[in-house]
Chain A
Amino acid sequence: MPISTYLEAGKAALAEEMRRDHTVWALGEDLGRGGVFGQYAGLADLFGAERIVDAPISEAAIMGTAVGAAMMGTRPVVEMRFSDFALCAIDELVNQAAKARYMFGGQTRVPLVAREPVGMWRSSAAQHSQSLESWYTHIPGLVVVMPSTPADNKGLLKTAIRSDDPVVYMEHKDLWGLQGEVPEGEHLVAFGSARVVRAGTDVSIISWSKTVHTASEAAAALAGQGIDAEVIDLRTLWPWDEETVSASVRKTGRLLVAHEAVGVSGFGAEIVAAICQQHFDSLRANRLFAASGGLRTGDRRPYRGGGQATDV
């Protein structure tokens, strides 16, 4: 299987879907020159400026026009540059995109994908580092996707573009250069299907996005101490694969959720709550680890956060 980076896998997914479906187009700042991280490099040459659209720095307009264009039967891929900037487009995503299908009684669909790169990366400080996935899981109507591998970044983005409902698609900025095997051609990953990264019997570590790799390192270290950890990558937070997590917890009796986002009202709390409600009797221990704690992320080394395998 060919090796590709997480970034190139996402680009391949978009290019393949644009070739497959002429209603797919992308809009965002600087896309004509490849986008801020190069995720769109070369696509304007392939598809033209009408389908790889250079937008003004107007996040509300990028998201809001995508809502209107999606209602008209196109499939816009919205680039928000940093998930932090998507906060300028919250009305358009939450009040418009997520609710249109319901409040208009099924007369319309809003098949847009909002790409919102997340996470701590290169000491980018407080306004370029957040992981706000739990905000979006709270909104009925939105799908929330957080790929951790190059293969998933291809398979999940293709599924997201084909989704008839709006998707918040959160790539981790620190994973752009990650290399891995990526299937060629038609490769689709279903929403709500977690991946068992490493099977184990003593403790279930549930994670997503970049923290999956930290959790895997932790599991390898634990193996040296005779502890057999199971690592599960949720891939999508809404819908989330409760079945796979439940089966794991029934087996291990111990639940640990690890994520980069702030712990208070984070999605880890939702998982712990759901599993405690369903499997309280089979739980021997549960723990929530949030790399950012309750803090903002600073740009100096002691404040940098991110979480290490030893923390997990």
Chain B
Amino acid sequence: MAKRSPPQLSANVDKQRLLAHYRNMCRVRAFEETALEALEEGLVPGPLHPSIGQEAVASGVCANLASDDILLSTHRGHGHTLVKGASPLAMMRELLGREGGCCGGKGGSMHIADFSVGMLGANGVVGANILIATGAAHAIKLKGESRVAVCIFGDGAINRGPFLEGLNWAKIFALPVLFFCEDNQFSATTRSCAVSAGPGPSARAQSFGIPSVTVNGNDVLEVDAVVRDTLATVRAGRGPCFIHALTYRLAGHTATDPAGYRDSDEVAERWQQDPIALAAAMLVDAGMAPSELEDMNTEAGHAMRAVLDQARASPWPEDRHTHTHVQDTHGQGLQGSD
């Protein structure tokens, strides 16, 4: 992505929409920064995969979904889950493994999910969510429902078999699913361009006859507009669509990855494209006071620190839950449903 000046806002409607996105993105950033502090403090037992720098995707995609629309996410899915409508407190409790976590403390960061808002799970296996989203869309079509399924996956996933199998399946059955490739340039700690043949994710989707567009994944209004238009096509029953969003992972693969495989100049340059700063600049251009924006950001930080305080004060799950939710069938070492 070349460095660019902020686009002009055309109307007041855009300004209000952008402000909502700005708030979403501040909340996602604040949630993850707070979670990283909690990790430093030893409060998070499992790994964390931060999405810092990719917040425009979370807001631009998920703000366009109704609560009964279905979302499948990745191991880097805090932002997607939060904007889809999950409670930040339930999410933070989940990261800390506490009672009241959205998965009862059994999933942690990599399996964060809130089925009550249509968020059917982050996934620890790259690309596995593509088939689950496709199957959810198949069920939606089978039942004659009007909602849609959206699958967000990374650029690393396009080299897995389920990508090929899922796109083919969705196209032949004309399913209501949007495939969204959140291209942060890295497959774990390897540059994706070094291990991916051909002209990229969109070309692969187009080879199945699936329409695809590439967007600047750091420009939340561009993501928002393209997702809105594309979802209209998917909702109209015209089969699956594909969006390829170019963004950049400003943090390491995990919270403990120093990302020494790229130089600091590259990262500093990418910070100039920070989606939150970009949105703020557009809002200032449109007449917002910088202090007002800073207040919103500060408020998001306070809110998430309050969430962390509440989460850390929450009890651990009862011991018996180690053995619940395995299966109904009683047998050696297994207990029934709960």
List chain A positions with a Cβ less than 8 A from chain B: 25, 50-51, 55-56, 58, 60-61, 63-74, 76, 91-92, 95-96, 100-108, 140-143, 163-165, 191-192, 238-240, 242, 274
Contact = CB atoms under 8 A, between A and B. Distances in A.
B136 interface: yes
Interface stretch (B139-147, B285-293, B302-310): B139-147
Contact of B326 (A63, A96, A108, A141): A141
A91 B102 CA distance: 24
B139 A69 contact: yes
B329 A192 contact: yes
Interface in B90-124: 101-107, 111, 113-116, 120-121, 123-124
A240 B331 CA distance: 7
Given A64-B132, A239-B331, A106 B337 contact: yes
A106 B331 contact: no
A192 B331 contact: yes
Contacts of B133: 68
B128 interface: yes
Given A56-B172, A101-B326, A192-B331, A96 B142 contact: no
A68 B136 contact: yes
A65 B328 contact: no
Contacts of B169: 55-56, 58, 61, 65
B319 interface: no
Contacts of A67: 131-132, 135
B212 interface: no
A166 B175 CA distance: 24
Interface core residue of A71, A102, A142, A238 (most chain B CB under 10 Å): A102
B3 interface: no
Interface in B294-338: 324-332, 334, 337-338
Contact of A107 (B115, B166, B329): B115
Given A71-B136, A104-B121, A61 B131 contact: yes
A143 B334 contact: no
B125 A105 contact: no
Nearest to A242: B332
A255 to B, nearest CB: 17
Nearest to B133: A68
A72 B338 CA distance: 20
Contacts of A25: 142
A50 B70 CA distance: 21
A41 B338 CA distance: 39
A73 B138 CA distance: 11
Contacts of B114: 107
Interface of B: 70, 72, 101-107, 111, 113-116, 120-121, 123-125, 128, 130-140, 142-143, 149, 161-162, 165-166, 168-169, 172, 324-332, 334, 337-338
B103 to A, nearest CB: 4
B331 A100 contact: no
Given A104-B113, A105-B101, A108-B120, 9 more contacts: A58-B165, A61-B162, A74-B142, A104-B115, A105-B102, A105-B105, A140-B326, A164-B337, A239-B330
24 contacts: A55-B169, A60-B131, A60-B161, A61-B168, A63-B131, A64-B132, A64-B135, A65-B138, A65-B169, A66-B135, A68-B72, A71-B120, A71-B132, A72-B135, A91-B162, A95-B125, A105-B105, A105-B106, A107-B103, A107-B113, A140-B327, A165-B329, A192-B331, A238-B329
B198 to A, nearest CB: 20
A143 B107 CA distance: 22
A85 to B, nearest CB: 13
A163 to B, nearest CB: 7
Given A64-B134, A105-B103, A91 B121 contact: no
Contact of A106 (B128, B143, B338): B338
B261 to A, nearest CB: 27
Nearest to A50: B142
A74 B120 contact: no
A101 B327 contact: yes
Contacts of A102: 106, 325-326
A68 B132 contact: yes
B85 to A, nearest CB: 14
